[in-house]
Amino acid sequence: MSEDKPRLGVAMVGYAFMGRAHSQAWRNAHRFFDLPLEPHMTVLVGRDEQRASAAAKQLGWDSVETDWRRAIERDDVDVVDICTPGDTHAEIAIAALEAGKHVLVEKPMANTVEQAEAMTAAAVAARARGVQSMVGFTYRRVPAVRLAQRLVAEGRIGEVRQVRAQYLQDWLADAQTPLSWRLDKEKAGSGALGDIGAHIIDLTQFITGQQLAGVSGMLDTFVTERPVAESFSGLHGTGGSERGPVTVDDAASFLGRLSSGAPAVFEASRFAWGRKNAIRIEVNGSTGSLAFDFEDMNVLHYYDATEPAETAGFHRIIVTEPEHPYIEAWWPAGHGLGYEHGFVHQAVDLVRALGAGEQPTPSFEDGLHVQRVLDAIERSAAQNSTFTTIGD
């Protein structure tokens, strides 16, 4: 640890997929970026001490706790990073904020609007005491996405007229894939809608600088029962039976209107064979367009409609120049970044905000609005409604 940099003790709750991604971010953020505080990987929290200890050793955490409550009581912890299933977010986040710890929570922020409202109220109260909070919508930190947001804000495509956004995966397309917590509504809150649909909702709002004001949605579950994995048995009271129910959506399709009235079309599916992590967003404006595909994540396509027709066309911008967001800290031009770098940028932005005593973004208020959008889509789908207004 640097002698001239104040220490920022981090406790991370959960150590699976997201925990691994967050761990490499905490390890690397201060090694590539100049930060006002130096993150210290103080404690990893997991229910199974043996497994948590093995994960801590592998990922670089100094110590282990088996109860998150003990972690937030520790004087050497300043930030609580929540990487657990959605049903635990509210309890952990509220307790951490009340204990004076800054909070980073993975998306979606909660499983219900009520939980997100309680978390936001706790965040507002904590902010008055200098304690900050942030939601982990990591794809905001992809340099090409950040460049798209900058170009829209600068008026480079004029007035936003329409948006199309997709998030497509295929990891559940095989009907024999076993049950996991992500297929249990009590644990996950929703399926493709909250798991990946939340990302394209946030990306649309972030890039356009507008909020969704209303939606109309459809939800589909294609496979209603799946094999019960050994680690999942008993969760639904199946008593070790061979199959258990899927209680969330497999795919979500919805229309929306931004605050300006511009229409937006969304699709989120975990059943799209051949699509591993395809996040696609296109924004059409009055004087141009922007298009991004995460499967080619170092590229942004930009069309300038003010150019002469003779030479007009989409420009393929390779977002690896020092002038591009975040890039200066990394590799020479043309050397692309990967999935993990977004998490580093997330940690960087959070630490810089904490060092400046500022509210990091996206805030819990931002996360609450996304939660309200998810809720409106579910209500619209359940009621076969043509349009559901987002509540304040």
- The residues, ordered by sequence, that sit 6+ positions from 286 with a Cβ below 8 Å of its Cβ are 157, 158, 159, 161
Confidence of residue 172 (pLDDT cuts 50, 70, 90): very high
What separation in angstroms does the CA of 6 have from each of 40, 78, 79, 354? 10, 11, 14, 12
Read off the tokens for 293.
């595909």
Flag whether pLDDT at 231 surpasses 60: no
Residue with tokens 């039976």: 241
Confidence of residue 388 (pLDDT cuts 50, 70, 90): confident
| pTM for the whole structure | 0.94
pLDDT of residue 233: 47
Domains and CATH numbers, the chain: 7-138 (3.40.50.720), 142-338+369-383 (3.30.360.10)
Task: Please compute the mean of the pLDDT values over residues 188-198 and round it to a whole number.
Answer: 96
pLDDT of residue 390: 80
Q: Write out pLDDT tens, residues 47-74.
A: 999 999 999 999 999 999 999 999 999 9
pLDDT of residue 239: 43
Q: Rounded to an integer, what distance in angstroms lies between the CA atom of residue 378 and that of residue 197?
A: 12
Task: Please compute the mean of the pLDDT values over residues 359-371 and round it to a whole number.
Answer: 98
In the predicted model, what is the mean pLDDT of the chain? 95
Residue with tokens 């356009």: 208
Task: Please compute the mean of the pLDDT values over residues 179-191 and round it to a whole number.
Answer: 95
Specify whether the CB–CB gap between 16 and 82 falls below 8 A.
Answer: no
Task: Please compute the mean of the pLDDT values over residues 281-288 and round it to a whole number.
Answer: 98
- The residues, ordered by sequence, that sit 6+ positions from 123 with a Cβ below 8 Å of its Cβ are 93, 97, 103, 133, 363, 364, 365
User: To 5 degrees, how large is the angle CA 327–CA 332–CA 337?
Assistant: 50
